[in-house]
Structure formats: structure tokens, C-alpha cells
Structure 1
Amino acid sequence: MDSITMPVLQVLLLAIMFLAILVEVKTGGTGAGIMFGLVAAVVFWGSQYVKGAADLFQIGLFLGGILCIVVEMLLPTVGLLAGVGVAAMLYSLVMALGGNLAAVAVLIFALVAAVGVFALIVNQLPSSRLWKRFVLKDQSTAKRGYVSAVEKPHLIGERGRVLTELRPSGSALLAGHPVDVVSEGTFIAKGELVQVVEVQGSRVVVRRVEQLQEAKGKPHPQQ
């Protein structure tokens, strides 16, 4: 029973510590999860130290990692200290758990549990400067001048000369400006006169003017 309970308890304590750190990074050290994290850390490291599985160096390394994260939250750096702090904490925890594959497995289970709970509550927490540096907030919207495709419905019916051979895509001079166009599947040589027959988003479809005239002049079959 004890061999089963200990790993479960270790996963729970580590998950609480990781969740507390994530909450503090998200909120900027408001103390929302620090109490639970401190209690879990004291219980974990105290039990490991009493059993002889952890030493003062590992405990100091863990505390140093936390200090790096705290400094990162207070100072406008590029995130280097946070990375060093996380690495130091993970290394100290793995060593305290035995430094083997079982220790890595316990750590992974705890991380997955903490991230899962954090994902459920992240939108309810305020965002710190550190969190905003890690999470991309900008969006390419039309209000900010970003457009996925410029529609050109005003070109329908416009005539112009082909600037490059259409095989079937190329460019043509329409309304005094070069425009990327595509023919209706037929080859159109450079310099020929074309007319815009369809516009779908940024796709401008043209047809040779002679073809249009032939289509208009073709007699209808008698009934």
C-alpha cells in the first residue's frame, strides 16, 4: 500500500507546486496560489529530506530556481532568468525523486496534471507583464490595416492589354494599373486585348475580347 501511496502523493504535491508557479507567472505574483505552493513544497522537500532522498544542495537549487522566476517577474528581461529557474527546479526535483526514469515519469504526470488544471482557470486570472511577453496577443485584423485579399469588383467589364503571356495566369494592364489575372483556361499571348468577366476575391478572370465578340454574334439555334 505504501509503495502505491507515495508516488501518488508525490505527483499531487508536485502538481500543486507547478500549478502555484503557473498561477503566479500568470498573475504577476499577486499571491493567488503561493500559499498552496509553499505548503506543498515544504511537505515534499521535508519528507524527501527526512528519508534521505534529498540534500541541502537540491533544496537550495530549487529555491534558486524560484528566485530566478521571481526576479524575471519583477524585471523587464527577455525571459532568460525564467528559463534558468525552471531548469534548475526540474533538475532538483528529478534528483530528489531518485534521478531515474521513475522520477521523470512522476514529474511528467505532475506537469500534465498542473497544466490541465491551469488551462481550465487561465482565462479567469489577470495577466502579468511576464505572461504577456510569452503569449502572442496581436491579431492581424482589418481595423489595423491587415487584409487577406483585396477584392476588385470594380474591374468587371474593364478592358486592357495583356502584359505577360497568360498560361493561364499572368498580368494585364487594367484601368491604368498592372493587375494579376487568370484566363478562363486558354492561352492568351502578350499584347492581346482582354476583358474582365469575373472577380472572385483577389482572383480576376479575363477573356480575349475576340471571344466575347464571337459569343455575342453567334446566332441562337432555331427552335
Structure 2
Amino acid sequence: MKRLFLGFIICLLLVAPFAGLSGPQVQAATDGSVFVIPVVNEIETGLTTSLRRAFALAAEERAQAIVLDIDTLGGRVDAAMEIGELIRTSQVPVIAYVQSKAISAGSYIALNAPHLAMAPGATIGAAEVRQSDGELPDPKVVAFWRAEMVAAAEHTGRDTKIVAGMVDRNLEIEGLKQQGELVSLSAEQALTYRLADGIFPDLTSALAHYGFESAELRVYKPSVSEKIGRFVTQPLVIPLLLLIGLMGLTWELIVPGKVLPGLIGAGSLALYFWGHMAAGFAGWESVILFLAGLVLMIAEIFVTGFGIVGALGVIALGAGVVLAAYDTAYGLKAMLFAIILSIVLGGVLFKYFGHLGMWKRIIHTERQEKASGYVPNRSFRHMMYQAGRTVTPLRPSGTAVFQGQRFDVVSEGEWIPVDTDVQIVLIEGTRIVVRRLASNVANQVIPMKEEE
């Protein structure tokens, strides 16, 4: 476990500086250039943070314009809405150039740009919102997303009915779509319905159309930390990292000394926190809470605290993970999923490998069997009220003889000398209690029953 903590801290310290010091890369140029920012692959929360930094850098460098080079099939609605707000409030003019696809959330981003250009063969639209399981969401969510898409079209002066048709299947647009279909436009159609300003074979031609033919291009390249942050903050990656991390902890606890699983678990947790720090969602307080939770949970194993210490550890550990996530509700769900699955898999590990670890030093597993020479305790209940004679003084324990057999006995508290007649008055398991006999009882012979 010490190696696990050390590995976690080392992994985090090695990569954490890059989360704050690894800045975005752009091609060197003079003021007044055009910033080209790629918007590719999935739209997620990490992309929002990266674009926010890019827009700030463009404003700082006094760029003439920002070009969003779009090629995406969509992604998270909430991330797209944040990017849309970023475009609307930008002090630098924004041009959306649809290189290939601007589908779903990508179409919302493109429609928020005051200027929209498309490449030959590019498409835009099909912005129906869906849940993570592929099912249609609540009608309220659909209505809200439709209103957002229409608001983006209104803001840039585009046809709101066509844009609404990208979201609403029930809307019928004569000559373009029938009821039950979604609007998805080719570059020529987008130009015909005045959603796009023109069709251009390349970005240079598009910039010439807007009067930036002589401007120098500066291509924004996300830093390594931003790329990792985008990967780590994806909804499917978060529970996977947590599961691997907790399983590494479980393996180290059950079978200590196996360095590789512990280091993998520590590295997975370090990557989770570092990625969220790089994306701007987490701070060191989340890491401190997580480490404090681990310490308290381990302390619960060795310290008697009626479960209070362990409960505090679980709360602190969960709080660290949830606070680091971009969405606390999703972070809580991911953490609960990882904990439950870790408990199940940990039970399997304990069943088959628990005998190899620390538990063999804590739990007594040796069995007393007849084959090893162990015999069950004899019952002395049949000797009740038998008389015998002490062969050693009872002070108050000693030895007495009954029917020729020696037994360890104890008096009721009095001191009884050797060669004194006694009678058994109480038997508790293997404990035989005797009392001094009167002289008339000493001569009585009480036959011994056969042992059951």
C-alpha cells in the first residue's frame, strides 16, 4: 500500500506541471493574422476548455478573425451550448468553415457563427438530440434544444424554420422534408436556402471571400495536456479510469507485493485527476480529499472506530472524485458504478487469491481436524455429584481423583488441603467445581456412568 501511495504521488507530480505550464501552440506570426481553430471529432467538455483558451489567445494577439475548421458528427449538447455562447460573445469575428461534416451539435456551433462557408461535398444538419443510450429524451429537452437552435439562427439572420426542421421530425417543410424526417443539407442546399455564404474549395478561397486573402494564418494546435484532458473527460473514459484505479487499490490490499497492478491503479487515478485539472475542472483540493479518503479507509482496517473512520474515508474519497468531474451528478454516478463493480471483482479476487495476501496474517484459517491429531473436548456431565479425593491442595484450583482418574478441578473459593474428600457440584464445559464433603458422604460409592 505504501508503494501504491508513492506511485500515485509520483505519477501526479510528474504530469501535473504540464497541466498548467503546457500552453497551446500556434504558428508564429504578426498581429492582425487569422486564427484557425480545428473543431474535429466529438464535441465534449474538454473541447470547450480548449476553445476558450484559443479564443482568449486570439483576442490577446489582436487577430483579425477566428476560423472554426469544423468536421464533426456532434457530441454533447451542453458542451456545444457553451461553445455557442463563446462564439456569440467573441470580440473577434468568427467564421465557420465546414470542411466535411457539421452534424448534430456541430451544426449548432456552425450556425452560431456570423459567417458560414462550406467546402464542396460538405453537409450540415440532423441535429436531433438523443440520450447516451440512443433513446429520445424527454419532450421538454427536445423543445429546449429546438429553441436553442432557432435562437442561433435568429441571432445570425438565417431561416429559422429550416433550422427547426434539423431538430423536429414532426415539422413539415414543403419541397425540403416530409413529416418524420430531419433536415440535413448538402453544401449546395445550404447555399440555396441561404444558411451558407458560399462554397469554397479550400480555406484560403473562403478567407479571400471575406476579405482576408492577405492575412497570415495561425493554426491553433492544442497542447499535449489539452489533448489528454479532452480524452480523460469523455463520459465513457471517466468510469473506466475510476474502475481501473479502484481495482488497483483492491489488488494491492488483497495481494500486497504485486507492484504492477498497484502502479497501474495509481497511474489511472493520477491520469483521471490530471486530465480534469488540465481541462480546468479540478484543483489540488480534489486530490487532497481523495488521498485523505484512502488514508481513512485503510486506517479503518487497523483501528477500531465502529465504522466511523471508514465512512469518513468513503465520503472524502467520493467527494474528491465528484468535485474533480465536470458534472458532479455524472461524477457521482461514475464513482458509484466503479465502487460497486470493484466490490464485486474484489470479492472474486479475495476468493481465489486472498490466501496469498495480508489476510492470512489477520484471519486464522487453520482447521483443527482429527487427521491432524485434534479431538473434540470431552464431556464431563456424567460425573455430576461424584465424590473423590484431592491429590494436590486446591488454592482454589488443583487436582483430584475420581474413580481412579485424575482431573483438574477448582473449589468454590475456599482452600482445600490434600487428601480431602470432595464432591463435584458444578460442571461448565471442561471446568469442574468441587465442594468439601462431610465424613458420612466420603464413604459412599457412586458408580461412574459410561461416557457418552
TM-score normalized by the length of structure 2 = 0.27
Higher-Rg structure is 2
* More contact order relative to length (CA 8 Å, sep ≥ 6): 1
TM-score normalized by the length of structure 1 = 0.50
Structure with higher helix content: 1
